[in-house]
Structure 1
Amino acid sequence: MSESGTRAHTVQAELATEVFDWGSIKWGVSADRFSGAPLTVGEVIINPTKGHDLHTHPNSDEVLYFIDGEGIQTVGDSGEFPVRAGDFVFVPRGTLHSTFNTGWRQLRVIAIYTPGGAELALRDAPDYRLLTPGASPVWERAR
């Protein structure tokens, strides 16, 4: 706790995990967690041979920072381009975009929405599941 008594950080083990057919997300900073936070930051895991559909965030810009793995990114009419650890991508609000994992390992990405709130739309996805802190996603082998 800080001197004002408000929490100043999150611990990964204390975060819920949002799970989708393509991977999972843990949101470490959001207005839900830190009252008044003007942005949302989370770690996104995209499993090998998976990706999410083209979509937009009408009211938020997005920055992606790739931590590990490799993939293909689309942003607007720029076409597909490769991404890998160390790369940054800027997605202006309202711009169609998608990310796909082309590698053999998980693609790990830090996603930042400004202003925050775009993450709330993910809860309406048909494959959305919320796991309690400490619970791990279970991935099934394709047959």
Structure 2
Amino acid sequence: MLFDWGSIKWHVTPGSVPGASSTLGEVVINPNKGHDRHQHPHSDEILYVIEGEGRQTVGDGPEFAVRAGDAVWIPMGTMHSTFNTGWRPMRIIATYTPGGAEEALRDVPGFVELAPGEHPTWAVADVKPE
């Protein structure tokens, strides 16, 4: 799954693994990018940052810093967002319990799904110094 802020590769979903009741995937958030606040009405989410650093929101609490080694629990129905504040891609393992919340991501504006075996290609904008 590709978005204007990065990509997600789902490794286990109820739709792709017979009998699976949860979802597990890797999220890549590009530098200086993030996703809008949203919620998963029927799933808890856990995020585990494996590389990079950023800002996280959960519910009405204050924004807080996250970095490699941090884990964040997001109760079902709770608004949240993640933003990469670093210079390199931020990599996160994400889980949904119960699984299936990933299907709603198909409705996000600009969503693109690559075929199995295809990989995203990110390009740097042609910026000329003034």
Q: TM-score range by the shorter chain?
A: over 0.9
The residue aligned with 1:27 is: 10
Deviation at 1:141, TM superposition (A): 2.2
The residue aligned with 2:75 is: 92
Aligned positions of 1:56-135 closer than 5 A: 56-135=39-118
The residue aligned with 1:11 is: none
Return the TM-score normalized by structure 2: 0.93
What does the per-residue CA deviation read over 1:40-73, in whole Å, with 9 as the maximum and x for residues that have no partner?
0000000000000000000000000000000000
| Structure 2, unpaired ranges of 5+ | none
Q: Distance in 1 between matches of 2:119 and 2:13?
A: 21
* Identical-pair percentage: 63
Return the TM-score normalized by structure 1: 0.85
Q: Distance in 2 between matches of 1:106 and 1:28?
A: 19
Q: Distance in 2 between matches of 1:81 and 1:112?
A: 20
Q: Distance in 1 between matches of 2:53 and 2:25?
A: 18
Q: Aligned residue pairs: how many?
A: 126
Aligned positions of 1:31-50 closer than 5 A: 31-50=14-33
Q: Provide the alpha-carbon RMSD of the alignment.
A: 0.9
